[in-house]
């Protein structure tokens, strides 16, 4: 194990760290972080409109009328998921331009204009997400390079307010950038493609979502995050751009299916991982905490760290365990920390695919305690039962490794004595 860790630190970690700090990925990740409260609010609105309690539905329909009271949740959805691609088009370009030291607001506005130039009005919700990401990155790259060109700066006389001067400095770069996307739109029209966003969704984004919804892809995502964390890299942040690219469209499709009385088509999404896999945080470390309380009570160091980590762990915050126990670079904990999420993904995937548990259709806040999160995500008690079963499985997987750690700790104490 020591050789493996040394090998990974020498050949893998430097490259993984570079990937995690790659400016485009960071820009996408930070953009989704900003929109996360909106996605949670939109999910709660869907939950309210489709709460599976007959008494509640009948009471609201008879008191206010179905169309009226559901317009509240529908309006919130329109202001959150309904314009998600608009937010992303602006925020990603802003973040990327800021990385280059350019005017992020201007870059975001140009990206937004470019998105609608290309036909983004038909894809303001999550179905235009991939197009929004591409346009945001390309437009920000073009604009950031042009805005620094002295030949494209319109000089303003002294005394002009700085805001006005900045807007004229960005005028020609903005014109050129937006015109490029206007030309692209015209070329597509010449080849008979009248709706670029919808065509791209049908050709690329929808098949990608189907591929991401498979069990192998879910297992890969469950493996990558704890694997990176073991070496001290923030695995969740590093795969967040990919996870959100899968998550938002899947949540939207599931919510629409639920509203239409249909079966949710996508199993794999963020609430699936939050509710059934990351119980207590990456690696399902709430199971480790419980295992230490049951099987590792004679390990004094583990007891102290676990006592301090229990309260955060109940809300899926496990940095105290990762760095205090520690789990990072701990050879004994490598196997359960990596394998537990994979096992939980397999159990949760088959439980959902077999119809024992509904698919996750809403996105509770990621700090929602386990079991409660399973109920809210699936709008079903079965979701809570599955989360409880997975939590018990995680305890069983961690238990023998906790005992090994305890034996080693007792041997060290005896040797020191």
pLDDT interval class at 277 (50, 70, 90):
very high
Domain boundaries, the chain: 80-207, 213-416
Residue 382: its pLDDT value, please?
A: 95
Burial (CB < 10 A; 0-12, 13-18, 19+), residue 55, is exposed
Torsion of CA 173, 178, 180, 185, to 10 degrees: 180
Least confident of 45-59, 62-76, 91-105, 382-396: 45-59
Residue 23: its pLDDT value, please?
A: 86
Residue 118: its pLDDT value, please?
A: 92
* Residue scoring higher pLDDT (177 or 8): 177
Q: Is the pLDDT of residue 1 over 60?
A: no
Neighbours of 59 (CB within 10 A): 12
Q: Which structure tokens are listed for 51?
A: 């709460």
pLDDT digits (tens, 9 = 90+) for 357-416: 999 888 888 888 999 999 999 888 999 999 999 999 999 999 999 988 888 878 777 777
pLDDT digits (tens, 9 = 90+) for 147-198: 877 777 776 666 666 666 667 777 889 999 999 999 999 999 999 988 888 8
Residue 159: its pLDDT value, please?
A: 62
Measured CA to CA, the distance from residue 249 to residue 128 in angstroms comes to 9
pLDDT interval class at 11 (50, 70, 90):
low
Measured CA to CA, the distance from residue 132 to residue 135 in angstroms comes to 5
Residue 5: its pLDDT value, please?
A: 57
Q: pTM of the entire structure?
A: 0.73
Residue 17: its pLDDT value, please?
A: 64
Measured CA to CA, the distance from residue 255 to residue 70 in angstroms comes to 14
For the chain, percent of residues with pLDDT exceeding 70? 90
pLDDT interval class at 276 (50, 70, 90):
very high
Least confident of 38-52, 56-70, 212-226, 298-312: 38-52
In the predicted model, what is the mean pLDDT of the chain?
Answer: 85
Average of pLDDT values for 215-236? 84
Residue 63: its pLDDT value, please?
A: 85
Alpha carbons within 13 A on the beta-carbon side of 192: 0
Burial (CB < 10 A; 0-12, 13-18, 19+), residue 84, is buried
For the chain, percent of residues with pLDDT exceeding 90? 31
Angle at 282 between CA 354 and CA 348, to 5 degrees: 5
Nearest to 271 by CA among 351, 376, 382: 376
Measured CA distances, 94 to 126, 130, 141 (Å)? 19, 17, 11
- Residue written as token pair 């059934």: 276
Q: Which structure tokens are listed for 93?
A: 């370009």
pLDDT digits (tens, 9 = 90+) for 294-334: 988 788 888 888 888 888 889 888 888 888 888 887 888 88
Average of pLDDT values for 38-45? 80
* Residue scoring higher pLDDT (242 or 382): 382
Residue 184: its pLDDT value, please?
A: 94
Residue 2: its pLDDT value, please?
A: 59
- At 307, which helix (H) or strand (E)? helix 300-314
Q: Is the pLDDT of residue 58 over 60?
A: yes
pLDDT interval class at 287 (50, 70, 90):
very high
Residue 136: its pLDDT value, please?
A: 95
pLDDT interval class at 140 (50, 70, 90):
very high
Neighbours of 72 (CB within 10 A): 13
Which three-class secondary structure state does DSSP give residue 200? Answer: helix
Q: Which structure tokens are listed for 185?
A: 């739109």
- At 161, which helix (H) or strand (E)? none
- Residue written as token pair 């940095």: 319
Average of pLDDT values for 40-59? 78
pLDDT digits (tens, 9 = 90+) for 249-273: 788 788 778 777 788 888 988 889 9
pLDDT interval class at 137 (50, 70, 90):
very high
Residue 26: its pLDDT value, please?
A: 83
Q: Which structure tokens are listed for 114?
A: 């470019």
């Amino acid at each position: 194990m020591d050789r493996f860790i040394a090998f990974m630190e020498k050949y893998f970690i430097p490259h993984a760290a570079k990937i995690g700090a790659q400016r485009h990925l960071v820009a996408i990740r930070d953009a989704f972080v900003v929109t996360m409260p909106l996605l949670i609010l939109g999910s709660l609105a869907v939950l309210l409109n489709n709460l599976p309690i007959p008494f509640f539905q009948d009471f609201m329909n008879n008191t206010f009328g179905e169309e009226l009271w559901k317009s509240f949740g529908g309006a919130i959805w329109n202001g959150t998921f309904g314009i998600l691609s608009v937010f992303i088009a602006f925020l990603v370009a802003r973040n990327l331009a800021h990385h280059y030291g350019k005017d992020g607001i201007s870059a975001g506005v140009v990206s937004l204009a470019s998105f609608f130039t290309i036909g983004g009005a038909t894809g303001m919700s999550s179905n235009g997400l991939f197009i929004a990401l591409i346009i945001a990155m390309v437009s920000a790259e073009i604009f950031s390079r042009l805005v620094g060109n002295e030949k494209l700066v319109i000089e303003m006389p002294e005394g002009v307010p700085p805001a006005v001067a900045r807007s004229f400095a960005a005028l020609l770069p903005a014109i050129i950038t937006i015109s490029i996307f206007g030309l692209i739109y015209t070329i597509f029209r010449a080849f008979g493609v009248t709706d670029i966003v919808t065509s791209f969704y049908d050709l690329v984004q929808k098949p990608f979502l189907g591929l991401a919804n498979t069990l192998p892809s879910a297992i890969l995502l469950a493996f990558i995050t704890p694997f990176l964390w073991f070496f001290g890299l923030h695995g969740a942040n590093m795969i967040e751009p990919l996870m959100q690219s899968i998550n938002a469209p899947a949540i939207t499709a599931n919510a629409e299916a639920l509203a239409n009385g249909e079966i949710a088509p996508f199993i794999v999404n963020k609430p699936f991982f939050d509710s059934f896999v990351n119980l207590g945080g990456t690696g399902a470390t709430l199971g480790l905490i419980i295992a230490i309380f049951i099987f590792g009570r004679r390990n004094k160091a583990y007891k102290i760290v676990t006592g301090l980590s229990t309260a955060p762990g109940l809300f899926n915050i496990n940095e105290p365990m990762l760095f205090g126990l520690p789990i990072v670079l701990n050879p004994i904990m490598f196997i359960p920390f990596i394998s537990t999420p994979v096992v939980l993904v397999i159990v949760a995937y088959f439980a959902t695919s077999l119809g024992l548990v509904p698919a996750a259709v809403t996105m509770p806040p990621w700090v929602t305690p386990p079991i409660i999160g399973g109920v809210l995500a699936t709008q079903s008690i079965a979701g809570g039962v599955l989360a409880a079963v997975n939590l018990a499985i995680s305890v069983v997987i961690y238990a023998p490794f906790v005992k090994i750690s305890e034996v080693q700790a007792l041997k060290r104490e005896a040797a020191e004595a």
